[in-house]
Structure 1
């Protein structure tokens, strides 16, 4: 437990997290701050879309969900994801349903399209099996829009423009693409700088497509310190560093361009309100103690996923990673809370989700 002394302020953070956890059901009273919440992303926020797909990238078995009120649902963590936290802070009294099972009027409060293994690039994650890439998620959103129009008629466009949209993509384009040279050619075709440019160019077109579908309030999550994931450390080694520096260096190139993209989208698109959430910065500045405890909470398979039914660690509050890639609910609480209401000015750019919702 020597690492616990690394940051004397960590006791305060844990106390705050404990209070947030106890009161998560009553953070916001009354009506939600936005009429609906649509979620695009990968396994960090997938809540069941992969459950019936032919893929290795699924978490619909114990010990996933051991701390989640509804048990094992397909979330790649022990409890809530960051978007579950954000939904609660926005005032939603139910979890946003996955596209795979959302039905009827449920879609009027939002839909979660996220898929484990998915990327900006369509081929990303293909070695895992089926997954719903961002392009496919956007097509699924069109299906939702048509259903909303059937229910709301001419009011649908105005309704959708008031909703919140969060997008978090790109991790798999590195983990399950660029840094897997035995399967993908991208690292042979592009330098890290060129690959970041290629990803951002495609991402820009996808975000413009989302805008063309009526989205106006969009929070884009930057990539985290994926070079610190236990599975990546085990695979590549760290050469004396705490994390895999070449991976985190590539991620920083992508994040820098993503922040600039937010400026461009806000400048070029009428009424657009895009904002950037600096998950990398929150990770490095806000969770230094947990980064040193980078062992997994559950026993993992060779691919970094939890071994089914094995008992996970008892004190999950003190672990950063639940499996080889995915954070525990503790970390998701920090990410969600600071995305919603920035603790430091550097957490977001140009504003946090709380202010975005109010615009």
Structure 2
């Protein structure tokens, strides 16, 4: 049974998979603050790139939060004690990632915003020691890297990375940068950190529409590159755990969780896996849902909501399996449920 208030706070870093409104007020093409986004979410079109809940919304529920973690752009001092969502659509590990889509908060910028929040928490709680004691109990969710491929490495007309690096070299460069960024998060008080790998982006409706021969077979050339990154990311988690004995870092294997979901789609109640409920597959060439577009009616039967982003139904499965692993391969070395229960330093 899921207990209430398993942790006092939840901090979220990431991209459009978990953005809940941080891009709404900036000059960016990567926005989702309009209908039909949010059609099944109680707050409507908040900026979530989904018809309903994201994976971190599901995890927040599991952790016992009665309200979803607010976007940094709108968080008050009262909010920040229980956590903040810094995620930004088009954001990447690399600063230049997503720049062709306009403004976004890269992971470096998200970390800078978190540093400011930690300073505010120090003032609210009275001291650095009190703040860090509080922060050590929090869950930190980090999920970046998808855009470093989708909106960088795989866009050679806008970025030089594919010419500058082999797939192996690029994955290595990303992980090296990521490692130092996660260490910065540790420096600012993070002690329970969840790092989610990249999913099967070669199976997205966008990839199937433009790169798959039959429109249904996942694009292996894309996912082979992604797996290079994921393999190194899992090793990075090992290295972090060996270096920081007063903290615990875990890896969520989103690639295999989502792969299992696609493989056993019918078992999970899905009927459509290769096109989005709106966007590519319904209107060829379209990536996002168009404003006021009428999406599919049977949304719970679709794995994907638009060309890139899973439906709420898929997010619920991934979120639940991240929180409480169904398979040994879902997480490493433990799931979020056990991480939340962990007494760091004891």
Partner in structure 2 of residue 109 of structure 1: 82
Counterpart contact for 1:125–1:131, Cα < 8 Å: yes
Give the superposition deviation at 1:299.
Answer: 3.6
Q: Does 1:322 align with 2:305?
A: yes
Partner of 2:142: 167
Deviation, 1:235, is 2.7
The 1:280/1:211 distance shift into structure 2, 3 A limit, reads same
* In structure 2, distance between residues paired with 1:286 and 1:45: 19
**Offset from partner CA, 1:103-158 (integer Å, 9 cap, x none):** 12111010000000000000000000001000000000011001101110221111
Larger proportion of helix: 1
What is the distance in 2 between the residues matched to 1:101 and 1:240? 40
**Which runs of 5 or more residues in structure 2 are unaligned?**
none
Match in the other structure for 2:39: 66
SS in 1 for 2:194: strand
- Whether contact under 8 Å (1:49, 1:99) holds in the other structure is yes
User: 2:73 — aligned with what?
Assistant: 100
SS at match of 2:148: helix
> Structure 2 matches for 1:94-173, cutoff 5 A?
94-154=67-127, 155-173=130-148
**Residues 238 and 210 from structure 1, CA distance in 2 versus in 1: closer, same or farther, beyond 3 angstroms?**
farther
1:299 touches 1:310 (CA, 8 Å); kept in 2? no
Once the two structures are TM-superposed, the CA of residue 285 in structure 1 deviates from its matched residue by 1.8
Partner of 1:36: 9
Matched, 1:234 2:206: no
1:220-243, CA deviations, whole angstroms, 9 ceiling, x for partnerless residues?
A: 001000011111222323478711
TM-score by length of 2: 0.93
Provide the TM-score with structure 1 as the length reference. Answer: 0.90
Q: Per the alignment, in what secondary structure is the counterpart of residue 266 of structure 1?
A: helix
Alignment of 1:208 with 2:183, yes or no, is: yes
Alignment correspondent of 1:283: 258
Distance in structure 1 (CA, Å) of the matches to 2:23 and 2:215: 37
Once the two structures are TM-superposed, the CA of residue 307 in structure 1 deviates from its matched residue by 0.8
Q: How does 1:313-352 map to 2 (within 5 A)?
A: 313-352=296-335
Shift in Å, 1:303: 5.3
Task: Point out the more displaced range, 214-223 or 297-306.
Answer: 297-306
After the TM superposition, which segments of 4 or more aligned residues of structure 1 sit over 6 Å from their partners? none
Aligned length: 332
Q: Matched residues in 1 for 2:3 and 2:106: separation?
A: 35
Of the three residues 44, 51, 55, the one matched with 1:78 is 51
Cα contact 2:272–2:301 (8 A) shared by 1: no
Partner-residue secondary structure (3-state), 1:68: coil
SS at the partner of 1:110?
coil
RMSD: 1.5
Cα deviation, 1:292-322, whole Å, max 9, x if unaligned, reads: 6211101457451111101100111111111
Structure 1 unmatched runs, 5+: 1-26
SS at match of 1:255: helix
Separation (CA, whole Å) in 2 of partners of 1:205 and 1:313: 43
Structure 1 pair 99/72, CA: closer, same or farther in 2 (3 Å)?
same
Q: After superposition, what is the alpha-carbon deviation per residue over 1:295-351, rounded to whole angstroms, capped at 9, x for unaligned? A: 110145745111110110011111111111000001100110000000011100000
